Chains A and B, each alone.
Chain A
Amino acid sequence: MASTATAAELSRAAYLRADELEEIVRNLRGPLGASRGSLQNALALAGDVPGALRDVVKNELAKTSDPDLQVQILLPLLRHTNFVLDFVEQHLSHGTRRELSEALADEIRGELSALSLADHEVVLSHGAADNFETVFGDLSGRFFGPLALPGSASPASVNFALFKVPRLEGAGVQWRPVLLGHEVAHVAAVSKGAVAAFDLRSKFDLKIAASLPNPKAPVGLPATTTALRLFRIAEAWTTELICDLHALHRFGPAAIAALTEYFMCIGAMDTSSSTHPPGLLRIRLLLDHLGAVGDTRLAAIVAPWADEVPPNVILPEPWAQYLADLFTANLQPLAATLTALATPQYDHANRTSRIHETADRISEGLLGRDVMATGASIEILERADVANAVWLARVEGAPSPIDRLAQKTLESIDFVASWMDAGGPIPVELHQPTSDVSGVLAAEHGVAILSEDSLLNRMRLDDANKGLGVAPALHTPKGTGLDLRLGTRFIVFKRTGTAAFDPLDEGDDPRAVQVFVEVSRRERFVLHPQEVVLGATLEYLSIPDDLSGQVITRSSYGRLGLLSATAVQIHPGFRGCLTLELVNLSTIPITLTPGERVAQLVLWKSSTVGSTVEKYTYPIGPEFSRVRSDSEAITLRTLRG
């Protein structure tokens, strides 16, 4: 029997935790800009929990005088409060850290939109190294359901999809099929009726199931319970397998490579659990559903993983074998459930040439061709093309940073698509490639600085050494220059206790005084008077080996006090996004939006230079200074003693 004193102490425990949660949420919300909408909204909901908790504790204690019953009610309320606190820690505490690309969150929003679930707010953060964690549904209902007294009003429902992803596989293009194909499908699999469409009941033999002890029903439980629990496991496996098939549906062969590699790395191939089928079964079903891949190069994406999976999956546990046999026999009905999700199928067989080209380009340090003009129409590269291309480049041993180049290709695709959606024009002539190298070079005879015609010809020239790669290319050159746009990535100085930064001191890391930030294309970046930041061009450039040039500030921005301060020289053969050292020399803050044409590229003929060891290789954003690695740094350190 609980005493009145115990009940009183537990009510104080609840009030104390309400105060703490209030403070935690306040501290998390404070630094967030208004543009971090989904995270802001989730924290706003969490911020209302303490008030609701205080109210419910007060009301429940007023209704019940028996301390025993008071304790009985207070304990689950305290447990719920812990869950809310835990949820805030796990999913909502990453604040303004921008380690995961905002473009990735946009991709997830795009996939949710394809699943007709655009109403879900997306929150993305890093989680454990060996697993994805996806939670979705009405966050308001989950926070306030237990706190609302029956009959009282709760806040309106708000759907969220929150993803905690491993640092590597969550951010990498190679594993997009896991995140965008499988995990995002979880949000839709039940609510869109895909799991119900499988009609597990008609395929599941309850008599057999009743005789199969399983992880949810150990030996000794009644047959009824044993059957019920195995049915629950079968439901969970159905959902997982549908989500796997959706990954294959959306990404083709890359899905098999991504899922198998991931399963093998986290140890999920052989284990049958109450929530997940073993990887062996999952991949076997995907391979069977995909069938033979006709294209030799594409087949190489799948081959290393197909080698790992036997034609017939044999599992040690009888219950798991029963389920494996059930799903193997019903693969076609399982695949047919995807019609309920209603997402377009990726037709890899008809995309082979684009996949090959993209793989070849990123292997050479170029971006995939984001836009291709066919006659007067514009075709945008598909995201799944890039996912397959990056696996192809990987399996063929590409020496370049393929994942970074694939990431930038996806961002370029995304920007172009948004640009077109917003009514932005794209000159078709920019995207009609030509292979006439000698013709283009002959037309430049006697030219020193390239003018608009020469620049356009170079942009159209499909040649790794002589072509001028610009992605995204949204406008034609004018005069003797090509305008360049502001990207989404910045390195900014922070206030620190560092007395001075010594470029020659091996112990002085620029990260001690600078921090990397990324904004989405919908956000703004405010540059304050006298502030210097490192930005980068939105465009990924590949400069021909016979041209060099400079980047200068556009005069329209220079007149506002915005200058691109230093490091304006561009060497022949440079590939990457150009770093812009931006400084605001005016007396008022300047608001900058990604995509603004802030700079101008001027190119001139130069002698062809041989390849040199580059300090900055294929950057897709500003990079921290590597002045400490200058070849003569050791000499200078020795000189000064």
Chain B
Amino acid sequence: MSFTAHTAAGRYDLMRGGSELVDLSLLAARTAAVLRRYADGGELLPEDELVLEAMNELLSDAAHAVEFFGSDGRDGDPPSGALAARVDAAIDAVLDERMQPADPEELSAKLTRLADRLRAIREPWSAGEAVTLASFFAGLSRSVLSQTGHVGEVTASL
């Protein structure tokens, strides 16, 4: 699975370099870990549910953003700029190359499906579904984190 991402660190990041993306990467990694443990028959701990709730909320925000812009502003409200980098990265994550050019309805539906599945984690899972989803969030974590790093030292000749 590949991701296309164009987000950049926002003006309001307290740290330079996109700390919101680090937060998202960590949240996605924790989501993947919870899903994998659950798929392996583990119990859901209270903190696991909080992780899933946070990811669910983010995906729902992203779905609403797509709905708003996809309907030329007719449906919903513009998304808050406060979490812009995270929401944009979540949209990019779902917007893989198979969805280019993306149908906003399809994109929004996919985000909503992901959010709903996390909300209904105790519902029955089809074979391999949780593992696939865990892989998706692990990929999201990697993709987002890769935007915050550096390629190496800075060199220049005078």
Contacts and interface: CB of A to CB of B under 8 A. Distances in A.
Interface of A: 60, 63-64, 66, 68-69, 72-73, 75-77, 79-80, 83-84, 86-87, 90, 135-137, 139, 142, 145-146, 149-152, 190, 195, 200-201, 204, 206-207, 210, 216-218, 220-225, 227-229, 231-232, 235-236, 239, 274-275
B70 A151 contact: no
B156 interface: no
Contact of B26 (A64, A77, A201): A77
The 7 closest A-B pairs by CB, nearest first: A150-B50, A222-B102, A142-B14, A83-B15, A76-B26, A72-B29, A76-B25
B142 A201 contact: no
A206 B14 contact: no
Contact of A76 (B48, B77, B145): B145
Contact of A142 (B11, B19, B47): B19
Nearest to A137: B14
Contacts of B114: none
B98 interface: no
Contacts of B145: 75-76, 79
B141 interface: yes
5 contacts: A64-B33, A152-B47, A206-B69, A239-B11, A274-B8
B95 A206 contact: no
Given A77-B26, A236-B10, A239-B11, 9 more contacts: A72-B33, A73-B33, A79-B25, A86-B16, A135-B15, A145-B23, A210-B69, A227-B69, A232-B81
Contacts of A136: 14
Interface in B12-35: 12-17, 19, 22-23, 25-26, 29-30, 32-33
Interface of B: 6-8, 10-17, 19, 22-23, 25-26, 29-30, 32-33, 36-37, 46-48, 50-51, 54, 65-66, 69-70, 72-73, 77-79, 81-82, 84, 88, 91, 95, 99-102, 104, 107, 138, 141-142, 145, 148-149
Nearest to B99: A222
A273 to B, nearest CB: 10
Given A73-B33, A222-B102, A232-B81, A207 B72 contact: yes
A84 B15 contact: yes
B101 A223 contact: yes
Contacts of A87: 14-15
A86 B37 contact: no
B33 A69 contact: yes
Contacts of A63: 33, 37
A229 B69 CA distance: 10
Contact of A217 (B6, B10, B14, B66): B6
Contacts of B37: 63-64
B14 A201 contact: no
A86 B148 CA distance: 13
B50 to A, nearest CB: 3
Contacts of B22: 76, 79-80, 83, 146
A223 B100 CA distance: 10
Contact of B65 (A151, A210, A223, A228): A228
A275 B11 contact: yes
Contacts of B29: 69, 72-73, 75-76
Nearest to A59: B47
A137 B10 CA distance: 14
B12 A231 contact: no
A87 B91 CA distance: 28
Contact of A216 (B8, B47, B78, B142): B8
Contacts of B12: 135, 137, 190
Contacts of B8: 216, 274
Contact of A151 (B47, B69, B77, B142): B47
A38 B19 CA distance: 23
Nearest to A227: B69
Contacts of B78: 200-201, 231
A86 B141 CA distance: 22
Contacts of B23: 76, 145-146
Contacts of B11: 236, 239, 275
Contacts of B26: 73, 76-77, 80, 146
Given A79-B22, A142-B15, A217-B6, A66 B36 contact: yes
B13 to A, nearest CB: 8
A443 to B, nearest CB: 63
A220 B97 CA distance: 11
User: Which of B25, B26, B104, B148 has the most A CB atoms < 10 Å from its CB?
Assistant: B26
B56 to A, nearest CB: 13
Contact of A218 (B6, B54, B66, B72): B6
A190 B80 CA distance: 11
A204 B72 CA distance: 10
A617 to B, nearest CB: 38
User: Which of B11, B14, B88, B99 has the most A CB atoms < 10 Å from its CB?
Assistant: B14
Contacts of B99: 222
B30 A73 contact: yes
User: Which of A79, A87, A206 has the most B CB atoms < 10 Å from its CB?
Assistant: A79
A149 B46 CA distance: 11
A224 B33 contact: no
Contacts of B69: 206, 210, 224-225, 227-228, 231
Nearest to B49: A150
Given A76-B29, A146-B22, A224-B104, A206 B6 contact: no
Nearest to A235: B81
Given A149-B47, A207-B72, A86 B65 contact: no
Contact of B32 (A72, A79, A195, A231): A72
A135 B13 CA distance: 7
A151 B32 contact: no
Nearest to A147: B26
Contacts of A235: 81, 84
A24 to B, nearest CB: 16
A216 B14 contact: no
Contacts of A151: 46-47, 50
B15 A206 contact: no
B92 to A, nearest CB: 8
A77 B11 CA distance: 22
A224 B73 contact: no
B81 to A, nearest CB: 5
A222 B33 contact: no
B130 to A, nearest CB: 13
B22 to A, nearest CB: 5
Nearest to A68: B138
A190 B82 contact: yes
A150 B47 contact: yes
